[in-house]
Amino acid sequence: MASGHYWVKSVDSTREAASKMSALSKLADIDRRVFYWILFIALMVPFLNPIGFPITIAPNTQDLYDGITGDQVDEGEVWIINFGYGVSAWSECHPAVTVCTKALFREGAKIIFIGPHYDVELTYNKLQDTCREDFATKEYGVDYVFLGYFTGGESVVAQLASDIASVFPQDHFGTPIGDIPMMDGVEDVHDIDGVLSSDTGDYGGHFMTQWQGPYGTKLAEVGIAMNGSTDLPRWQAGNFFGVSVGSRGGAELELLIGELGEATTAMDSISVSHLLLVLAIIIGNLGTITEKLGGKE
């Protein structure tokens, strides 16, 4: 009787173990659509509210932020922000430009906005949205001006250095440059205290050659990630006082200014997707290992 009881108990234990093995083995056969739905729902979280996963601040990003804040910028300085990127690169360049605009405005600097992309007005309008509170405290024509679109590459950047009005006789809205109070006495490179060039191309290089090299103009660069291999050596050489590289650089600047935004959201979404991918690999391998241990072909 005792041995029969032991046999029944042994069978039950074997069945229980087999049931567990079967449940685990199913992990290897999860419908991929289930994972896609989990990924979709998880990615909604940072877009609804940035998480702010910890990130380290690169030295080139820290130098950029330090160069546009504190005693590095005096009230009343005139800076140029060049929109060297179009709508397609908003995700990589615009967050960093947003932070730089906020920082310069809060230091009391005056800003001239220009750009070589045909959709430059769209970028300017977006900046007004992402810096809404800061623009609300400033007066157009006194604290900032949008001169708008220019074309001609490096030759026009050189012309700007010698005579701004020859390139922009009026602002984007048709107001003669001589009627804009902020532009009174701002004629050439000697009247500009700093330039921030944001790029998908190499306008940072054009300003380096035509402004920073011959005149020593303070110059920083915000570029897409692909430009980092060119921009960082220029920062190391001292041509750029700081560099922001891609969405990661924008997220670092958002952290430095203490206002999480679009770049932080992008980095959070990348982190979430990578964590889910690692989890999926672990689950898939756990199921496969279980199948092999259970002898399932």
| Segment 207-233, tens digit of pLDDT | 999 999 999 999 999 999 999 999 999
Q: Is 15 exposed, middle or buried (0-12, 13-18, 19+ CB in 10 A)?
A: exposed
Length of the chain, in residues: 297
Any alpha helices (H) in 49-143, and if so which ranges?
59-67, 90-106, 120-130, 132-136
pTM across the whole model: 0.78
Beta strands in 154-279 (DSSP E): 194-199, 218-223, 242-245
What radius of gyration, in Å, describes the C-alpha atoms of the chain?
Answer: 28
235-293 pLDDT, tens digit each: 999 999 999 999 899 999 999 999 987 777 766 666 666 677 777 777 667 766 666 66
Q: Are 83 and 198 in contact (CB under 8 A)?
A: yes
**What is residue 91's three-state secondary structure?**
helix
CA-nearest of 223, 182, 1 to 92 is 223
Domain ranges within the chain, ordered by starting residue: 2-50+268-293, 59-259
From the candidate CATH numbers 3.40.50, 1.20.140, 3.10.620, 1.10.287, the one assigned to the domain spanning 59-259: 3.40.50
